[in-house]
């Protein structure tokens, strides 16, 4: 597609991602959803193609590309398999951004290459049972003890926790300071006192395991502190701005696929003597869906372009995530409606997309949190 936001290099990597999605992911997406397991050999293929290191600096094994390249890949992969995008987004945002943003050269050298190669996974543990949208209310604590910190707490809904070698954990080092007393730690998941809770039975995006991470008197060396003491909350918020663009891009892909499926179905499905798409009510539904998709694209592409050009884009990232998620859910819902009873059957791809996209208005900052961010920027 032609866009003032992208150049030939962006469109080239988009085409590569589209080809991979069509040939490799589309044939196995339904089985991934059914079996709740993503093939590790396919993760290896994504690593070989550079998808797991799109935004990682070249000196640590990545491609060192920009945010728009990341958007292109996420959008195309999501069209065929939303679960696959979780491996790509984790590797390029939540798992690595805290280190890229605040880590020491030694930490970057230790942790980033394994992620880029698809050999190691790093979980991002911020959310807690009583601290979801209100992350500053977390109760996980890290108490200094000689050359270490002792961590105690429980994180929930942690993507990839059961298969991760490490986990980035946010904990309060100075609880009386609230959000200004949170620090970021890299925790080896094999340390004594670290355990995972039960496997979460999810509605969608089922090919990646999610569980609690429980920390019971976990001793973490001081060199596992990521960034400065008590500045972890800032690190988390900067990381989430990157992650929100990824989720928004995922929504674009799923919504685009839903529209394509709906158009094809309404062209072929004959009711009342003519194809469904020839009924004005149906045609106008499709027009509205297409318009909202392209409005979402404009917000997402603009936010990515701003980030690539060194502009502050926290508000724009939140607007992109907010609108793309809400519009995407609406578009997929209408697409399923156009399939009628068939859309409710698991034999049809639209049913899986409907389940996969629903979480996008919840994780990495709910739609209501995005509204807080957006209005906060407007009213400060």
Look at residue 72 in the predicted model and tell me its pLDDT. 97
Look at residue 249 in the predicted model and tell me its pLDDT. 98
Q: What is the pLDDT of residues 343-352, one digit of tens each?
A: 999 999 999 9
Look at residue 2 in the predicted model and tell me its pLDDT. 55
Q: What is the pLDDT of residues 121-151, one digit of tens each?
A: 999 999 999 988 888 899 999 999 999 999 9
351 catalytic, yes or no? no
Look at residue 380 in the predicted model and tell me its pLDDT. 84
Mean pLDDT of 77-103: 96
Look at residue 358 in the predicted model and tell me its pLDDT. 97
Q: How far apart are CA 256 and CA 359, in angstroms?
A: 17
Q: What is the pLDDT of residues 334-343, one digit of tens each?
A: 999 999 999 9
pLDDT at 11 over 60: yes
Look at residue 175 in the predicted model and tell me its pLDDT. 93
Catalytic entry in 75, 76, 351, 364:
364
Q: How far apart are CA 303 and CA 59, in angstroms?
A: 26
Please check whether residues 89 and 27 belong to one and the same domain.
yes
CATH of the domain at 339: 1.20.140.10
Indicate the average pLDDT of the chain. Answer: 95
2-6, 45-49, 166-170, 207-211: least confidently modelled range: 2-6
Q: What is the pLDDT of residues 255-314, one digit of tens each?
A: 999 999 999 999 999 999 999 999 999 999 999 999 999 999 999 999 999 999 999 999
What's the sign of the alpha-carbon dihedral 319, 320, 321, 324? positive
Please check whether residues 226 and 242 belong to one and the same domain.
no
Report the domain count for the chain: 3
Domain containing 54 equals 8-116
At residue 51 the predicted structure's pLDDT band, cuts being 50, 70 and 90, is: very high
Given 116, 140, 155, the domain boundary residue is 116
CATH of the domain at 96: 1.10.540.10
Please check whether residues 49 and 147 belong to one and the same domain.
no
Please check whether residues 258 and 331 belong to one and the same domain.
yes
pLDDT at 215 over 90: yes
Residue 3 lies in a domain: no
pLDDT at 1 over 70: no
Look at residue 212 in the predicted model and tell me its pLDDT. 97
pLDDT at 115 over 70: yes
Mean pLDDT of 228-235: 94
Please check whether residues 364 and 253 belong to one and the same domain.
yes
Please check whether residues 244 and 184 belong to one and the same domain.
no
Please check whether residues 375 and 238 belong to one and the same domain.
yes
Q: What is the pLDDT of residues 254-265, one digit of tens each?
A: 999 999 999 999
Q: What is the pLDDT of residues 311-321, one digit of tens each?
A: 999 999 999 99
């Amino acid at each position: 597609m032609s866009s003032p936001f992208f150049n030939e290099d962006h469109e080239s990597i988009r085409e590569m991602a589209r080809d991979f999605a069509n040939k490799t992911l589309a044939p196995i997406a339904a089985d991934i959803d059914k079996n709740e397991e993503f093939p590790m050999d396919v993760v290896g293929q994504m690593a070989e193609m550079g998808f797991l290191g799109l935004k990682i600096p070249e000196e640590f094994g990545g491609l060192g590309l920009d945010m728009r390249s990341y958007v292109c890949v996420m959008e195309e992969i999501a069209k065929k398999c939303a679960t696959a995008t979780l491996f790509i987004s984790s590797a390029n945002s939540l798992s690595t951004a805290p280190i890229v943003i605040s880590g020491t050269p030694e930490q970057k050298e230790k942790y980033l290459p394994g992620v880029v190669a698809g050999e190691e996974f790093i979980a991002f543990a911020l959310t807690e049972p009583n601290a979801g949208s209100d992350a500053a209310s977390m109760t996980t604590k890290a108490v200094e003890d000689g050359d270490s910190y002792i961590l105690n707490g429980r994180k929930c809904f942690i993507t990839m926790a059961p298969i991760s070698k490490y986990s980035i954990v946010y904990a309060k080092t100075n609880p009386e300071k609230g959000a200004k007393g949170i620090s970021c730690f890299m925790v080896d998941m094999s340390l004594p006192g670290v355990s995972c809770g039960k496997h979460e039975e999810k509605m969608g995006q089922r090919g990646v395991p999610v569980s609690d991470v429980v920390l019971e008197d976990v001793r973490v060396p001081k060199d596992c502190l990521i960034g400065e003491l008590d500045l972890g909350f800032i690190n988390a918020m900067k990381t989430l701005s990157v992650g929100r663009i990824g989720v928004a891009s995922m929504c674009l892909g799923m919504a685009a696929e839903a529209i394509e499926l709906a158009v094809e179905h309404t062209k072929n499905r004959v009711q009342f003597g003519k194809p469904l798409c020839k009924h004005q009510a149906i045609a106008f539904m499709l027009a509205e869906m297409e318009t909202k998709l392209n409005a979402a694209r404009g917000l997402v592409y603009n936010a990515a372009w701003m980030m690539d050009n060194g502009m502050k884009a926290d508000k724009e990232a939140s607007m992109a995530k907010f609108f793309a998620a809400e519009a995407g859910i609406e578009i997929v819902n209408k697409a399923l409606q156009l399939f009628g009873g068939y859309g409710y059957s698991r034999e049809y791809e639209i049913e899986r997309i409907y389940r996969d996209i629903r979480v996008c208005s919840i994780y990495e900052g709910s739609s209501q949190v995005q509204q807080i961010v957006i209005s906060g920027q407007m009213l400060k």
